[in-house]
Structure 1
């Protein structure tokens, strides 16, 4: 059990993250949180920003009432802002928004307006600072992710296969291409800490095939390693069958069905992990309350398939699965970027 205590080393780590985002003395920085945010991280953010000399201030939103039929986890779609206009005005005017909401603003309705005003957002994942310390900001990730993003931008199609039986075709025409650098410098950009993911939101109707989740792959929504395989049949973006026996398949079917929403079965985003500091096995070493699963999304060489919201395909839902899959080969127009779960040398 980790202890929530301010440690000097964690202030150092947060300071390094903000300096990588080029925060300087005098910059006006919002620390955005909600009543259910991890308090130690909001305190560490404040102390680190003040050490730099930034003009930091807090906006704390009440965590809204639950509206979903099941617990909502790891969506990246915080509803904490509630379209409160004075709050949005402050966020738009900030040089940087340090996002410490529970779910994060990555896919939130208000985010395009905040970024469109030129503000930047750094989402600090809802992890215990011990995990954030271990995945401290790394400037070396940035050029590698930029290289991967460039390869995605230049491709027409992604193809994913595996010895377990995955055979998934993803069209990239019209996709929204991105990459999590772990730091945000340019006005209107967003990053998450920890970083290290190349990803895209496919356009509507461009994802078809079979994805096999094998033993040891991860369902981040449940913070659980799979013990038996699950075979997902995907037709024009939508999961049309969840095939498999045992608890893992039963849990996935139950969570999908609980939403009573066809959009929960749609493809959200796809990509691959680039972060050598992120570890596949780390999920075993933390209590569930101490982590949010961002490390499992980012470990190097995984294929990340997600279901749920995709605003670029006009798909909106809070139902969400993040599914990092090991052992895949990922090609872009036939050129490999990951082979059998290992990054190719030019991206490694």
Structure 2
């Protein structure tokens, strides 16, 4: 029998090592996702932890401009969150790329973002085996110099990933260490290549994903990349026009930049999720995490001091991902060590 939302939160908080002597802070937007707030409060209480709900009027960014963040709520929110040991983000769009997230985790707090429907949370919950696979992928990235991605449609993209200081995101779906952020559920590894080093061509094919539009690519689209920025988007179908229209709407050169790149490692995640569920109830974690997908993103990159509310994650099927000429993913299948 499926677990209730509260039961799943209790199990997740246990994975995150929440204890009775800790205080849990829940960041939410007024009138949004109230059932997640209630479940998080109930889970914290069952464990015996203190719990504080921090409601802001609005923290999420929209899919299209105009957008101007109201910073007046951030300082008091941070002050309250700073008194908590474990912070749960149940905002609609998430604080993934915001200053709020980095300032909370920078103070050593554990922070977890939750957005997917209850059965997805339960089905894709993380574990030690997934964590080991994600950490191994991170080690491969950290020891490499050049990331290259190709596909049979003509994609050929390279980026500089050299140096031990390469920013790497490890996501296995729970946070049990000070200063760690994660997204429940998750199962992928990604890096932020050195800014302005990505070069080549990206070729999207029907069935690839567009997040947060929460739909599949319908037409072949070619994106030419120079010095880390998309220089052109072309194709004979509607998708090329729509991507161009989206990027141009922001009137901001930063939205054309490439951001993080990586691959999925969660074998239980299914590519069909956008058709099985109402896609607007999803945040897209299932496609991001599907084993063997190559995912890249546009826009925000805090390591390059680039903040913009325009941000696309694009997971792709059937790609080959190589680090210094050695495949970690071949034709969309993870290569076993």
TM-score > 0.5 by shorter chain: yes
Question: 2:112–2:174: 8 Å Cα contact kept in structure 1?
Answer: yes
What is the aligned partner in structure 1 of residue 79 from structure 2?
Answer: 89
Aligned residues: 334
The partner residue of 1:157 within 138, 146, 151 is: 146
User: Is 2:317 the partner of 1:326?
Assistant: yes
1:8: how far off? Answer: 5.0
Mark the CA change 1:345 to 1:71 in structure 2 (over 3 Å): closer, same or farther: farther
- SS class of match (1:23): coil
CA–CA distance in structure 2, aligned partners of residues 36 and 296 of structure 1: 28
**Distance apart, 1:178 and its partner CA:** 1.9
Dislocated runs of 4+, deviation >4 Å: 64-69, 78-83
2:23 is matched with: 28
Residue 112 of structure 1, CA deviation: 2.3
SS in 1 for 2:300: coil
Q: Distance in 2 between matches of 1:312 and 1:168?
A: 21
For residues 101-180 of structure 1, the aligned pairs below 5 Å read 101-124=91-114, 126-173=115-162, 175-180=166-171
Relative to structure 1, is the Cα distance of residues 188 and 79 closer, same or farther in structure 2, using a 3 angstrom cutoff?
farther
Q: Distance in 1 between matches of 2:295 and 2:333?
A: 14
RMSD, matched Cα: 2.1
| 1:337 paired to 2:328 | yes
Q: Select the residue among 47, 50, 53 that pairs with 1:58.
A: 53
Matching residue of 1:37? 32
* Separation in structure 1 between the aligned mates of residue 297 and residue 60 of structure 2, nearest angstrom: 25
State how far apart, in whole Å, the 1-side matches of 2:43 and 2:258 are: 38
Give the alignment partner of residue 181 of structure 2, picking from 168, 171, 190.
190
Tell me the secondary structure at the aligned position of residue 140 of structure 1.
helix
Structure 2, gaps ≥5 residues long? none
TM-superposed CA distance for 1:71, in Å, is 8.2
Change (3 A) 1:85 1:315: closer
Whether contact under 8 Å (1:93, 1:119) holds in the other structure is no
- Alignment match, 1:75: none
Normalising to structure 2: TM-score of the pair? 0.93
Counterpart of 1:206 (choices 175, 197, 203) is: 197
